[in-house]
């Protein structure tokens, strides 16, 4: 019963219509032990009075046992393949509550209720033979043990057997019961149920091979946050974000692409330059670095095309084995604006980062209406690359805009994506 289990990641990507991303996979084959109990329907015995040989009905009982196994999930196919092993056999055999003329009706411990043989204490009272009961119990136990001895080779792997492996540690439990029959003897004159029954429970074990593929990835993961600028409707210097994984900050992404991000210090007059110098000292602010990735001093690298309303990208790499990230099977990539938006008593909106105004600037020059101030966190697109084979060789597993739908000035932490243990997004994504 081998099982080839498709990883949850690939199944999710199929549903989303995305290409399958092949990670390193390790095939694991596990031998799983199973045990199963097979209750066998009541077997009606045909014994000569006072005898214990089951020869008159033992072949019929084999047919009953086979049907019981075939009706037990997990056992029938193992019977066919020869992988079924008998580890426990419990047989309770019955005798009637009559021994002979000298004892008359005997005590009993079971009675017939419908088609079941139910234990009872009503049969141990005075007026019934106790000696005859003991003799009947000895006979019933002998019938049980004899049946076990004679059924084992018929179940086993010997020629003519069913092919079931009989464990060398087989547990055998022969039990007896004295069944109330109204004091009728179990001879040929008894036309009703005279206690000649066998109640069987067989316990089997078998081993199954379960094969599955476990996804494994190297701990390196690259995460990029960016904007296409005018294509995204993003032109502002208020796009400073704390990027987090499972609540732990992995860096500060600067997606600014307006006035303070494109001009040089020399382009400012004296008053502008003082304000500019305050801004570039703030975490994640600063001017455009250039059209290649360079360290930004804030936990990652930044790239800018240095155009007004142009493209900006911030990226970093993380080690998923870093205990601070609490990396697991499901991981939350989130973003939090570091720009605070306030509304004045006159209804004008202004944005600040660490107390320094960025919208409008110190001269009131924004090129935008005041009510447009505030980071618009619906802008960023996200790229995620992992290292499925070789350290440092990244493969893209996601590159889209998560649908987060935040509005200007929203300071809440926003969950961007849920990532699996290889950084592949799972669940609803943009």
- Measured between its terminal Cα atoms, the distance across the chain in Å is 39
DSSP 95-153: EESB--TTT-BB--SEEEETTEEEE-SGGGSTTSBHHHHHHHHHHHHHHHHHHHHHHHH
Q: Are 80 and 163 in contact (CB under 8 A)?
A: no
pLDDT digits (tens, 9 = 90+) for 273-331: 566 666 666 666 666 667 788 888 777 888 888 888 889 999 999 999 999 999 998 99
Average pLDDT over residues 182-202: 70
Of 72, 86, 78, 104, residue with least CA distance to 185? 104
Q: Are 43 and 198 in contact (CB under 8 A)?
A: yes
- What confidence score (pLDDT) does residue 225 get? 92
- What confidence score (pLDDT) does residue 413 get? 80
Q: Which two tokens stand for residue 241?
A: 């974000």
Cα angle: 86, vertex 92, 94; to 5 degrees: 150
CA distance linking residue 351 with residue 332, whole number of Å: 28
Confidence of residue 178 (pLDDT cuts 50, 70, 90): very high
pLDDT digits (tens, 9 = 90+) for 340-382: 877 766 666 778 777 777 776 544 554 444 456 766 656 678 8
Q: Are 94 and 105 in contact (CB under 8 A)?
A: no
- What confidence score (pLDDT) does residue 118 get? 92
Give residue 155's Cα distance to chain centre: 39
Q: Phi/psi zone of residue 136: left (φ > 0), alpha (ψ -120 to 50 degrees), beta?
A: alpha
Structure letter (DSSP) for residue 422 = T
- What confidence score (pLDDT) does residue 127 get? 85
Least confident piece of the model among 3-12, 68-77, 142-151, 289-298: 3-12
Least confident piece of the model among 68-72, 103-107, 403-407, 413-417: 403-407
Burial class (CB in 10 A: 0-12, 13-18, 19+), 401: middle
pTM, two decimal places = 0.51
Which segments of 264-330 are extended strands (E)?
294-295, 301-304, 312-319
- What confidence score (pLDDT) does residue 218 get? 83
Q: Is the pLDDT of residue 409 over 70?
A: no
Residue 156, classed as helix, strand or coil, is coil
Q: Is the pLDDT of residue 7 over 70?
A: no
State whether the Cα torsion 121-123-124-126 is positive or negative: positive
Q: Which two tokens stand for residue 383?
A: 């790229």
Segment (H or E) for 60: helix 58-70
Sheet of 197-216, strands arranged across: 24-44, 197-216, 85-96, 165-179, 110-113, 116-119
Percent of the residues in the chain that have a pLDDT greater than 70, as a whole number: 73
DSSP 73-100: TTTHHHHHHT--EEEEEEEEEEEESB--
Confidence of residue 5 (pLDDT cuts 50, 70, 90): very low
Of 220, 179, 147, residue with least CA distance to 394? 220
- What confidence score (pLDDT) does residue 4 get? 35
- What confidence score (pLDDT) does residue 132 get? 92
Confidence of residue 214 (pLDDT cuts 50, 70, 90): low
- What confidence score (pLDDT) does residue 9 get? 47
CA distance linking residue 22 with residue 3, whole number of Å: 19
Q: Which two tokens stand for residue 202?
A: 């067989």
Percent of the residues in the chain that have a pLDDT greater than 90, as a whole number: 23
Least confident piece of the model among 158-167, 198-207, 262-271, 322-331: 262-271
Mean pLDDT taken over the chain: 79
pLDDT digits (tens, 9 = 90+) for 102-123: 888 899 999 988 888 999 998 9
């Amino acid at each position: 019963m081998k099982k080839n289990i498709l990883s949850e990641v690939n199944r999710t990507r199929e549903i989303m219509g995305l290409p399958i991303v092949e990670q390193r996979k390790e095939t694991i084959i596990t031998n799983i032990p199973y045990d199963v109990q097979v209750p066998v329907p009541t077997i009606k015995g045909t014994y000569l009075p006072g005898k214990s040989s089951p020869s008159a009905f033992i072949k019929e009982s084999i047919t009953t046992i086979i049907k019981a196994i075939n009706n037990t999930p997990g056992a029938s196919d193992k019977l066919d393949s020869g992988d079924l092993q008998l580890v426990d056999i419990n047989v309770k055999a019955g005798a009637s509550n009559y021994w002979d003329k000298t004892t008359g009706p005997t005590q009993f411990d079971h009675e017939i209720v419908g088609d079941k043989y139910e234990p009872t204490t009503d049969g141990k009272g005075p007026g019934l033979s106790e000696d005859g009961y003991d003799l009947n119990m000895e006979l019933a136990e002998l019938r049980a043990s004899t049946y076990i001895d004679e059924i084992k080779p018929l179940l086993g792997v010997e020629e003519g057997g069913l092919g079931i492996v009989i464990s060398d540690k087989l547990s055998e439990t022969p039990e007896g019961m004295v069944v109330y029959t109204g004091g009728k003897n179990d001879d040929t004159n008894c036309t009703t149920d005279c206690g000649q029954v066998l109640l069987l429970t067989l316990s089997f074990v078998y081993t199954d091979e379960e094969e599955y593929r476990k996804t494994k990835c190297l701990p390196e993961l690259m995460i990029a946050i960016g904007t296409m600028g005018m294509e995204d409707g993003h032109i502002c210097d208020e796009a400073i974000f704390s990027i987090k994984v499972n609540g732990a900050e992995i860096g500060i992404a600067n997606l600014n692409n307006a006035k303070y991000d494109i001009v040089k210090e020399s382009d400012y007059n004296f008053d502008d330059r003082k304000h500019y110098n305050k801004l570039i000292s703030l975490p994640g602010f600063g001017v455009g670095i250039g059209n290649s990735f360079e360290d930004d001093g804030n936990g990652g690298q930044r790239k800018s095309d240095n155009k007004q309303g142009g493209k900006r990208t911030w990226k970093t790499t993380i080690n998923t084995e870093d205990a601070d990230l609490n990396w697991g099977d499901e991981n939350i990539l989130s973003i939090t604006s570091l720009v605070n938006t306030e509304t004045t008593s006159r209804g004008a909106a202004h944005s600040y980062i660490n107390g320094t105004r960025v919208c409008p600037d110190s001269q009131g020059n924004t090129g935008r209406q005041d009510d447009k101030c505030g980071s618009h966190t619906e802008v960023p697109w996200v790229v995620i690359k992992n290292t499925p084979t070789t350290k440092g060789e990244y493969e893209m597993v996601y590159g889209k805009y998560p649908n987060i739908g935040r509005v200007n000035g929203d300071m809440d932490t926003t969950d961007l994506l849920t990532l699996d243990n290889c950084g592949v997004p799972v669940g609803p994504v943009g």
